[in-house]
Amino acid sequence: MSDRKSVFDAIRAARNGQGFTAGDVAAIDTLLDHLGVSKDGKGRQANKAGLDLIQGFESCRLTAYRDIAGIPTIGWGHTGPEVHMGMTITQEQADRLFDADTDKFEAAVDRLTKGKATDDQFGALVSFAFNLGADALAGSTLLRLHNSGDFAGAAGEFGKWNKARVNGKLVIVPGLTRRREAEAELYRRQA
């Protein structure tokens, strides 16, 4: 069950159709928040700290630009075959693209971590996947260490992903170094 309505329906059925008091609803909502069940049926969502981290490093541009690797990008770091130089979008479109992009990476991270990550670990891993792609996370030592429960080791892996191919050469990018440090810091938090 990935949405709250189905959870409430199942609890109601288990209680032989008995309704909920306001206190029951509040307690169930608190539990579902803690478990990362979204209110809109999307599945697990990155916490505010994770989303703020992504937006803080991506910033929002309403006119297409080339990122450091030369990839046409628009909005909050959105890429894809539909993005071309000269393209412009509205803030509302940028926000919708961000929502769709984060949904995709949240689902991938939830699947790859088998649903086992704290809220802050999850937010940090979504930021990582948003920036580098879910395939990079899937094949990483970072994910292997996370899934084995070696969280300190996993946190130490973020810093290894601070390079980009620029003009055919792999170079350390200061912005990526800062982003990986911020992701590792968020990952280490206990929330």
Q: What was the pLDDT predicted at 18? A: 79
Residues 30 and 64 in one domain: no
Residue 119 shares a structural domain with residue 32: no
Q: Do 29 and 102 share a domain, yes or no?
A: no
Is 60 in the same domain as 31?
A: no
What is the distance between the alpha carbons of residues 57 and 133, in angstroms, rounded to a whole number?
15
Residues annotated as catalytic are 58
Pair (59, 122) in one structural domain: yes
Residue 160 is given by DSSP the state G
**CATH code for the domain in which residue 86 is found:** 1.10.530.40
Measure CA of the first residue to CA of the last residue in the chain; give whole Å. 23
- Give the sign of the dihedral formed by CA 189, CA 95, CA 116, CA 175: negative
Q: How confident is the model at residue 101, as a pLDDT?
A: 96
Do 39 and 57 fall within a single domain?
Answer: no
31 and 80 co-located in one domain: no
User: What CA–CA distance (Å, rounded) separates 42 from 45?
Assistant: 8
Q: Are 39 and 54 within one domain?
A: no
Nearest Cα residue to 49 out of 104, 122, 99, 123: 123
At what angle are helices 141-148 and 119-132 packed, to 10 degrees? 160
- At 1 the pLDDT is 39
Residues 11 and 57 in one domain: no
Distance CA 49, CA 28 (A): 23
Q: Do 38 and 52 have their domain in common?
A: no
Task: Tell whether 121 and 150 lie within a shared domain.
Answer: yes
Q: Kindly give the residue spans of alpha helices, DSSP state H, lying in the chain.
A: 4-14, 22-35, 48-58, 91-112, 119-132, 134-138, 141-148, 151-157, 174-188
| Judgement on whether residues 2 and 64 belong to the same structural domain of the protein | no
Structural domain count, the chain? 2
pLDDT of residue 16: 84
**What range defines the domain where residue 26 resides?**
1-43
The tens-digit pLDDT sequence of the chain (191 residues) is 346 667 777 887 888 877 767 666 667 766 766 565 655 556 899 999 999 999 999 999 999 999 988 999 999 999 999 999 999 999 999 999 999 999 999 999 999 999 899 999 999 999 999 999 999 999 999 999 999 999 999 999 999 999 998 888 999 999 999 999 999 999 999 75
Cα angle, residue 14 at apex, residues 11 and 19 outer, rounded to 5°: 60
Angle, nearest 10°, between helix axes 119-132 and 174-188? 160
Q: How far apart are CA 140 and CA 125, in angstroms?
A: 12
